[in-house]
Amino acid sequence: MLSVSNKLSKTSALGGFAAPARRSFAAVVDFWSEVEEAPRDPILGVTEKFLADTNPDKMNLGVGAYRDDNGNPVVLDCVREAERRIMGNKFMEYLPMGGFKEFCDHSIKLAYGDDNPLVKGNKIAAVQSLSGTGSCRLMADFMHKFKPDAKVYITTPTWSNHHNIWGDALVEKETFRYYKPETRGLDFEGMVEDVAAAPSGSFFLLHACAHNPTGVDPTAAQWQEISKLMKEKGHFPFFDMAYQGFASGDCVKDSQAIDIFLKDGHMVGCSQSYAKNMGLYGQRIGCFSLTCNSEEEKVAVESQIKRIARATYSNPPLHGALLVSTVLGDPELKALWYKEVKGMADRIISMRTALRGELESLSGDSWTHVTDQIGMFCFSGMTPEHVAALQGKSIYMTSNGRISMAGVTTKNVKRLATAMHEVMSA
């Protein structure tokens, strides 16, 4: 009789199944023992605390994602119809390095205007990007490669990821004054002084509309002064436009800063995102563009942007580009989108009015900055101590007092105002 081990050996020799041999391992060299845990993201950290809270009436006012008046996420009807049209009708092949050209063509028309001579003259280099963050990173990498000695000037304050993006791209950063805590509005005088003092040929990162986190935008007249000064200094304006249409409900009005700079003869850059204004947060769909002086220059610049994209993520995803190009390419769907994005903006504006009314009723003080500001966020003026106290009432926001107005509804605005009044009066 064969032993069990002999049977296994014989089975293996005949090509049958045999148990795998036991493997031995040498001592592993630890390459990563000195890696420290990264700091928690200030926005996502708020969400983690919110999710751990068991209070059914808890409020998440940290993340910048739109919600309806019941606090639910929204998929626009125009997007659902676009989904229906493209479902089963497209292949799943790779896009080119620059993305879906039809999408890019629609995007630059939206940002710069259909009748813009740069659009008609084919003088805008544009590629599909991984939403606004990806657009900004392409700009930062392009700067580092072709203007390595230039600095980028960033507003104080700004969206925290701006510093990560340009810092990781090894671009030297400076800040310039923008927000004035005493008035909870624009520090226009300080901004102009810093723009004038910056070395000629500097790059300025500007928020086209609905400044994040403050919600404070220059007026058209102020943009004109800023544009004139930057032109005199030879500065390059790069616009991060994450909220076109979402700020005022009017896509043309929300892009007025870019139009003012172009009319003054600037070359500009632009980052577009369709996360907020089309609700395509998870699709990571955006467009990065740079204006050029000729078609030949456009071809060269675009080729170099594509080269950066190739080494970073090779090529962008397809689905979001198809959704956006379907909506913007169909007159009826585009009209529906204009209506829906205005509806989102109008709800935010109405919640600003309601919150201001409740706060002024409770405190007797002026809260005009709540309605003077625009877009997704309200820079409330609350301190980190106030914000920490609100967490004890199951209300969550970033420590700088930024309120995501998308999380405010007709059902919770009174509770929010009462809680704010209580912690600020303590």
Q: Give the catalytic positions in this structure.
A: 159, 240, 276
* Residue with tokens 């390095």, as numbered in its chain: 97
Q: Distance (Å, rounded) from C-alpha 214 to C-alpha 94?
A: 39
Q: Distance (Å, rounded) from C-alpha 305 to C-alpha 117?
A: 22
Beta carbons of 408 and 50 less than 8 angstroms apart: no
Q: Cis omega (within 30 of 0) on the bond before 20?
A: no
| Residue among 277, 234, 230, 279 at smallest CA distance from 257 | 230
Q: Distance (Å, rounded) from C-alpha 303 to C-alpha 223?
A: 32
Which sign, positive or negative, has the C-alpha torsion 292, 294, 298, 301?
Answer: negative
3-class secondary structure, 176: strand
Beta pairing partners, 126 = 289
As given in the structure block, the two tokens for residue 11 are: 């089975």
As given in the structure block, the two tokens for residue 153 are: 């000037």
How many Cβ atoms sit within 10 Å of the Cβ of residue 251?
20
Kindly compute the dihedral angle of the four CA atoms of residues 353, 355, 361, 365, in this order, to the nearest 10 degrees. Answer: -90
CA distances 274 to 243, 277, 280, Å, are: 8, 6, 6
Alpha helices in 169-243 (DSSP H): 188-197, 220-233
How many Cβ atoms sit within 10 Å of the Cβ of residue 47?
14
* Residue with tokens 């590629």, as numbered in its chain: 127
Q: Distance (Å, rounded) from C-alpha 323 to C-alpha 81?
A: 9
Beta pairing partners, 156 = 177
For residue 206, what is the DSSP state? E
Beta pairing partners, 237 = 204
Q: How many residues does the chain have?
A: 426
- What does DSSP say about strands 236-241 and 269-273: parallel, antiparallel, or unpaired? parallel
3-class secondary structure, 66: coil
Q: Distance (Å, rounded) from C-alpha 358 to C-alpha 350?
A: 12
